[in-house]
Structure 1
Amino acid sequence: MSLVVRQVIADDAQGVADVLNPIIFEGLYTVLDTTFSVDEEKEFIAQFPEHGVFTVAVNTENSEVIGFQNVEPFASYTKAFDHVGIIGTFVGGASQGQGVSKKLFESTFEVAKQKGYEKLFAYVRSDNERALTAYLKQGFEVVGTAKKHAKVGGVYVDEVLIEKFL
């Protein structure tokens, strides 16, 4: 598979929804519990923070979005966290295990540094071993576990807190 990684555009909304919604629907790998319409994704892309990073991986053979990663500012109520971003990574099921997340990380790290981020932070479901392994391979370190941090489908889920200095 040949892929290109680039910054998101509004026309990617369908592809982003096509990657994200099956993951949400499955209910096993994210704490997100409500799927998104294409219009909601378009609005999310349009309103995405200027200081944020939103990267998509596109299969060049069919122009299909197969994964995405975004970094949003950690907090807007103080400038003390301007150097910290919250990162999320999503790769479609058929594209997992093919190096997509590695390419996303490479691009996202570079753009994040250009935008002034010095540290990326993430919450990963404790039962999502594949995601945790992917982040650790990219140099993230575990800094703690938030017990019963989310409640998905009536079930408590612990989240592992990880960080990486860029």
Structure 2
Amino acid sequence: MSVVIRQATLDDAQGIANVLNPIITEGLYTVLDTTFTEQEEKAFIQYFPEQGIFTVALCSDQTTVIGFQNVEPFASYTKAFDHVGIIGTFIDSNSRGQGVSHLLFQGTFEAAKQKGYEKLFAYVRSDNERALAVYQKQGFEIVGTAKNHAKVNGFYIDEILIEKFL
């Protein structure tokens, strides 16, 4: 599969929603529990932190979003965490297992270093073994478990805390 990786633009909002909303609706891979409109995604992109990184993966047609990844600053209330970013990765169900996330990680790691990040951190649902394996393949290590960290549809979910030093 030929994939193009580039920075997200406002024009990608509907494509991002098209990837994210089925994942949210399925309720198995993310703690997000509310879907997003194109306008909400546009606002998210427009006001994305300057220090952040937001990339999309496109099919070879360069119009269809098949995945995306973003890094946001860990905290804005102190400079003590300026070197730490929170990363999230979402791949369309039809594109999983085809190397899309690997390409996103390559671009994100380089961009993160250029923006001064030294460590990336993520929360992964404990029942999302596939995502955990993908992150570990990219060099992330498990640093702990947050028990009953999320409550989705009335059920508690543990989250695995992972990190990678760049």
Taking only the aligned residue pairs, the percentage that are identical comes to: 75
1:51 aligns with 2:51: yes
1:89 aligns with 2:83: no
Shift of 1:36: 0.2
Consecutive unaligned residues in structure 1, runs of 5 or more: none
Aligned to 1:150: 150
SS in 1 for 2:33: coil
SS in 2 for 1:127: coil
TM-score, normalisation: structure 1:
0.99
Aligned to 2:161: 161
1:139 aligns with 2:131: no
Consecutive unaligned residues in structure 2, runs of 5 or more: none
- 1:48-97: CA deviation from partner (whole Å, max 9, x where unpaired): 00000001000023620000000000000000000000000000000000
2:63 & 2:52 partners in 1: Cα distance? Answer: 24
Written as runs of structure 1 = structure 2, the 5 A alignment for 1:1-150 is 1-61=1-61, 63-150=63-150
TM-score, normalisation: structure 2:
0.99
Shift of 1:110: 0.5
RMSD: 0.6
Letter in 2 for 1:22: P
1:123 & 1:161 partners in 2: Cα distance? Answer: 5
1:152 & 1:42 partners in 2: Cα distance? Answer: 25
SS in 2 for 1:48: coil
2:7 & 2:108 partners in 1: Cα distance? Answer: 9
Task: Say if 2:4 and 2:62, in contact at 8 Å, map to a contact too.
Answer: no
Aligned length: 166
